Structure 1
Amino acid sequence: MYIRALLICFLLISCAQKKAYKRPNYIKFKTEKDSVFVIINNNVISTSFLKIENLNKNKTQFIDFTKPDTLTVLKFHKSEIDTIALDKHYRFQLQYGNSIPKAYDTLYNYGLPFLKGKRYKVLQGNNGSFSHRKPTSRYAIDFKMKIGQEVCAIRDGVVIQTKSDSDEGGNSEKYMDKANKIFVFHKDGTYVQYAHFKKDGVLVQKGDSIKKGQPIGYSGNTGYSSQPHLHFVLYKSSKDGLISIPFILDSIPSKNYKKGKYAVNK
């Protein structure tokens, strides 16, 4: 009985692992005559790279992009492989940034993300215990804002992604994907994400060029959020994806923005 239970458990785990990977919709397989092609339709308008893992040979390769592109990334003869084997033995992941991380401007002085004359309390700073412990959020800052306060760009950039259709939020990670947000690319290769906007509270759209200090949306309480606030975080690229970085905000290092203190945009 015990052995049977173990076998069932093993089968369930195996099934879960097999279902864990699903080929992303930007990757298509095409067969033509005696060939099998792997094609990427990359719509990212900033720098990006495709990570290709060959599980059989334990090899990884990277293809970098500087703009949107449709490209054949792999080609095989039908005698080598079919599309079923491709799904079994290859993994594809499109990431923002460059596969070989480049130097960025560590001395750039970012502006406060709200209007002149306004002051807001820091709700959570770098390494905050509530939600700033992961590589993607370690150096984030949260400002306590009532719903509907104007959020401003902290640097010139190009908007590469937005979401504004959510009205859901709460103190649980199940709401993580429900946050309304704006994602922006900077000329030195860094990125910034602003999050938790109210529903329909995003004022910009993908492809827009924005200026430092420009109003870009209205604060809210969507997503994984314990109360209305603005969350923003700076990123650099790595081979494993974007990771958060420390920065200078209104001439002050981000680590000095402590919980309970106020920031004033004079």
Structure 2
Amino acid sequence: MTRAPRLRALLALITPTLALTLAPTLTAPGARATDPPATVARLRLEAGDGQYLAWADNLLAGPIEVRLDAAGAPPASSQPPLPARASVAPGASTLLAYLRPPPGSGQLHLRLTATPGSSNARPRDVAYLLPLALPTARIDQGFAGAFSHQDAENRYALDLAAPEGTPVLAARAGVVMQVQTGMPEASPAQTTDALKRANFIRILHADGSMGLYAHLSAVEVRPGQSVQTGDRIGLSGNTGYSTGPHLHFAVQVNRGMQLISIPFRLAGPTSAAPPESH
């Protein structure tokens, strides 16, 4: 039997809301796609004797859930059968399936989706600190706001008005699991797709929930860094889908591989924020 060509890596980079379909020839040393923003996971194929091992690499400093599906026809032979779903620990890799291309095809058609967070998250009722270094903040858009807070990810988000460059504070202690930087300023011609192009920080809390801080002009923390309530983590801005400088803040959980925002309470200024009980 002729040994299948050895791949260095066949990479597919995906975001929480983007499923990237691959139809690669298995002799290719790398993927043809460019890195999208907010990379969460990588699909990695390793060649063996007539089969390929499909691995999911977690690129975040927090847990994720992934699902591998067949995309297009004819489907690959897979063990276990597709779809294959798994949880992947921070920075770890999980073997999803053993695959064999259809006879005479030499191609695999795959789709990998990934979602930050663990479905085992059990959010506690916690009073969150006002995440801005301001004595008070005006809410420009509240829960279920008609402009952009109608979807599940943002229904329970707050848009807090703040001059660009206002220090952003950690509303709750946790570990920085994901950051996105280098995104452009908002423009009048943008669409809702630009929401994915905002600079943001995602912080994993002890109960598995995640705090999202978006539209930043600067990020001052790194993935894997521990932060305490009130620590400075960045600067407010006007990147992504935005009509003016503000901070978009939400608390999210992973439910069935979908990010869901949940209601939360703000404690007010730093001096009024009670410590979190464990």
SS in 2 for 1:224: coil
What displacement does 1:61 show?
Answer: 3.3
Cα 1:131/1:33, change in 2 over 3 Å: same
Aligned residues: 227
AA aligned to 1:114 is: L
Cα 1:102/1:194, change in 2 over 3 Å: closer
- In the TM superposition, 1:175-194 aligns within 5 A as 175-194=194-213
Aligned position for 1:253:
none
Cα 1:240/1:42, change in 2 over 3 Å: closer
Cα 1:77/1:136, change in 2 over 3 Å: closer
Query: 8 Å contact 1:185–1:191 — kept in the other structure?
Result: yes
In structure 1, distance between residues paired with 2:247 and 2:91: 30
What displacement does 1:208 show?
Answer: 0.9
Whose helix fraction is larger, Structure 1's or Structure 2's? 1
Match of 2:59 among 27, 33, 43: 43
> Based on CA coordinates, which of the two structures has the bigger radius of gyration?
1
AA aligned to 2:210 is: Y
Question: Over aligned residue pairs, what C-alpha RMSD do you find?
Answer: 2.6
Match of 1:60 among 80, 83, 92: 83
Aligned position for 1:236:
253
- In the TM superposition, 1:1-266 aligns within 5 A as 21-23=20-22, 26-54=42-70, 60-76=83-99, 84=107, 86-87=108-109, 90-98=110-118, 100-105=119-124, 107-115=125-133, 118-171=135-188, 172-173=190-191, 174-198=193-217, 201-250=218-267
Cα 1:60/1:75, change in 2 over 3 Å: closer
Cα 1:264/1:185, change in 2 over 3 Å: closer
In structure 2, distance between residues paired with 1:143 and 1:228: 9
Cα 1:21/1:36, change in 2 over 3 Å: same
Cα 1:83/1:213, change in 2 over 3 Å: farther
In structure 2, distance between residues paired with 1:132 and 1:32: 47
Larger relative contact order (C-alpha < 8 A, sep ≥ 6)? Answer: 1
In structure 2, distance between residues paired with 1:50 and 1:236: 15
Uncovered stretches (5+) of structure 2, i.e. residues with no partner: 1-18, 23-32, 34-40, 273-278
- What are the Cα deviations for residues 34-79 of structure 1, in whole angstroms up to 9, with x where unaligned? 3222122222221111112356699633211222223332114567
- When the two structures are superposed, what TM-score results if normalisation uses the length of structure 2? 0.73
SS in 2 for 1:113: coil
What displacement does 1:218 show?
Answer: 1.2
In structure 2, distance between residues paired with 1:167 and 1:35: 43
What displacement does 1:183 show?
Answer: 1.1
SS in 2 for 1:169: coil
Cα 1:91/1:224, change in 2 over 3 Å: same
What displacement does 1:91 show?
Answer: 2.5
Cα 1:193/1:81, change in 2 over 3 Å: farther
In structure 2, distance between residues paired with 1:72 and 1:59: 13
In structure 2, distance between residues paired with 1:29 and 1:109: 44
**Identity across aligned pairs (percent)?**
27
Query: 8 Å contact 1:168–1:178 — kept in the other structure?
Result: no
SS in 2 for 1:175: helix
SS in 1 for 2:148: coil
- What are the Cα deviations for residues 116-164 of structure 1, in whole angstroms up to 9, with x where unaligned? x611111110001111111110000011101111110000111122223
- When the two structures are superposed, what TM-score results if normalisation uses the length of structure 1? 0.76
In structure 2, distance between residues paired with 1:219 and 1:81: 55
Query: 8 Å contact 2:84–2:96 — kept in the other structure?
Result: no
